[in-house]
Structure 1
Amino acid sequence: MTADDEWLWHGGSVCLDFVNTLRDRWKEPRETLREPGDVLRWLYTAGMAGEPALPHAEPEGVLVLARRLREAIDRAIMAAASGELPHAGDLSVINEAAMAALRPAPQVAIVDGRLAPGESRDRAEGAAAGLGLVAHDAVDLLVSDEVRRVRLCGADRCALRFVDRSPAHNRRWCAMARCGNRTKVRAHQRRQREQPPPSWKSVTA
């Protein structure tokens, strides 16, 4: 996997990071889950499943299940973000996947002198259970007020999904370092090209 294909974690929720494994949705979608081993590695990196065994330890159907769940989550969340009801078929896919895994045991921690939810130490066993935890996260987002804050990155080739938690709710980019700065640089270069060259008189004056 090249540096440009590395998984990104700008979504603000596990389920949106999972949706974002299909890159560049605006124009030519680019797949990063190409084989069952990719699903296992993504789930492990996201903290949803244990360390993957050999790639052939999971059946080929895991890849089909993962992509099917990913697109159902995307359609359901984008519909809800627009104030519409998701398609019943997509909700069925999410609910069915969620039944494959129990929620991790809750943890409590002391953070800055206060009690706060701690990071779960439990990981699901196997890809189907890990995908079930991703589906759990999608359910949580769908029934929360935050679903109306899901946005698309404003860069013309990106379209990563993210939860806008900015104070003014006006975040435009999946990440400033990834798309914001690039877009600003391209806009500046375009303005420079469109400026008319200085006239001979202004140069010699």
Structure 2
Amino acid sequence: MATDDVWIWDGGRVSLDFANTLRNRWRTTPEETLRVPDDLMDWLREAHLLAAGTTGAATASLLLSARRLRESVDRAVLAVAAGPMPEPGDVTLLNRSAAAAPRPALQLLIIEDRLEPAGITAPFTADPTLALALIAQDAVDLLLSAESRRVRVCGADRCALRFLDRSPARNRRWCSMSRCGNRTKVRLHQARTRQSGGITEG
């Protein structure tokens, strides 16, 4: 079972955070963090989509549905960010999933002197199926917004997490500066130092 410190919340949207539950997508075999149904329940609680006091366990079939939804979200947002349309099958799955729950009331945030939707920030349901519907709704909202063109893949060689670039210059490269940005800069500096040292010695 995954532990709480496994979850990463740098996507900028709950649907991107959900896509990021499959890690190291650059590998032939990515790392699955939703390994058992309880992992899914834990993630939904940590994402504030499932009420903290919810009891009971998710089923294996719900976990499979969640993984299918996750991959449809991932394919669709990357397709739209790159320009073309998502696959019709992914659109159908997102629409069907999103329709499984009533829409939550919109909330507002002030970000850099402009109003932005706050997204889903509070526990909404005791039903994990409806919690997954909220993820699908967030993905639909993202795909229909101008922000869909600001979805990025982390520039670190061994990361590939998805995130929403809200930087003013639209040039954010890392999912997290502390996790990937600084580490990459340190590695590049060390490589340059080794290379220059080798040239000097030669």
Same fold (TM over 0.5): yes
* Contact 1:123/1:130 (8 A) holds in 2: yes
Alignment match, 1:80? 80
The more displaced of 118-127 and 161-170 is 118-127
SS of equivalent residue, structure 2 residue 198: coil
Equivalent-residue separation in structure 2 for 1:189 and 1:116 (angstroms): 40
* Contact 1:100/1:129 (8 A) holds in 2: yes
The number of equivalent residue pairs is 194
Q: Which amino acid aligns with 2:132?
A: L
Q: How far does residue 82 in structure 1 lie from its aligned partner after superposition?
A: 0.7
Alignment match, 1:100? 100
| CA separation of 1:85 and 1:8: change in aligned 2, threshold 3 A | same
Equivalent-residue separation in structure 1 for 2:165 and 2:109 (angstroms): 26
* Contact 2:49/2:121 (8 A) holds in 1: no
1:156-195 matches, cutoff 5 A = 156-194=157-195, 195=197
Equivalent-residue separation in structure 2 for 1:107 and 1:124 (angstroms): 17
Equivalent-residue separation in structure 1 for 2:80 and 2:143 (angstroms): 7
Choose from 53, 56, 65 the match for 2:55.
Answer: 53
Q: How far does residue 171 in structure 1 lie from its aligned partner after superposition?
A: 0.3
Equivalent-residue separation in structure 2 for 1:187 and 1:158 (angstroms): 16
| CA separation of 1:144 and 1:180: change in aligned 2, threshold 3 A | same
Q: How far does residue 188 in structure 1 lie from its aligned partner after superposition?
A: 1.3
| CA separation of 1:158 and 1:40: change in aligned 2, threshold 3 A | same
Q: Which runs of 5+ in 1 are unaligned?
A: 201-205
Q: Which amino acid aligns with 1:102?
A: P
The more displaced of 140-149 and 20-29 is 20-29
* Contact 2:48/2:121 (8 A) holds in 1: no
Q: How far does residue 107 in structure 1 lie from its aligned partner after superposition?
A: 5.6
Q: TM-score, normalised by structure 1?
A: 0.85
* Contact 2:49/2:122 (8 A) holds in 1: no
The more displaced of 133-142 and 28-37 is 28-37
1:107-122 matches, cutoff 5 A = 121-122=122-123
Q: How far does residue 189 in structure 1 lie from its aligned partner after superposition?
A: 1.4
Equivalent-residue separation in structure 2 for 1:197 and 1:104 (angstroms): 61
Alignment match, 1:39? 40
SS of equivalent residue, structure 2 residue 67: helix
Structure whose alpha-carbon radius of gyration is higher: 1
Q: How far does residue 125 in structure 1 lie from its aligned partner after superposition?
A: 2.4
Q: How far does residue 124 in structure 1 lie from its aligned partner after superposition?
A: 1.8
Equivalent-residue separation in structure 2 for 1:177 and 1:13 (angstroms): 19
Alignment match, 2:71? 71
Q: What's the CA shift string for 1:69-102, capped at 9, x where partnerless?
A: 0000100110000110100000111111111111
Equivalent-residue separation in structure 1 for 2:188 and 2:116 (angstroms): 43
Equivalent-residue separation in structure 1 for 2:198 and 2:116 (angstroms): 59
Alignment match, 1:123? 124
Q: How far does residue 135 in structure 1 lie from its aligned partner after superposition?
A: 0.3
Alignment match, 1:24? 24
SS of equivalent residue, structure 1 residue 196: helix
Alignment match, 1:203? none
Alignment match, 2:13? 13
* Percent identity (aligned): 53
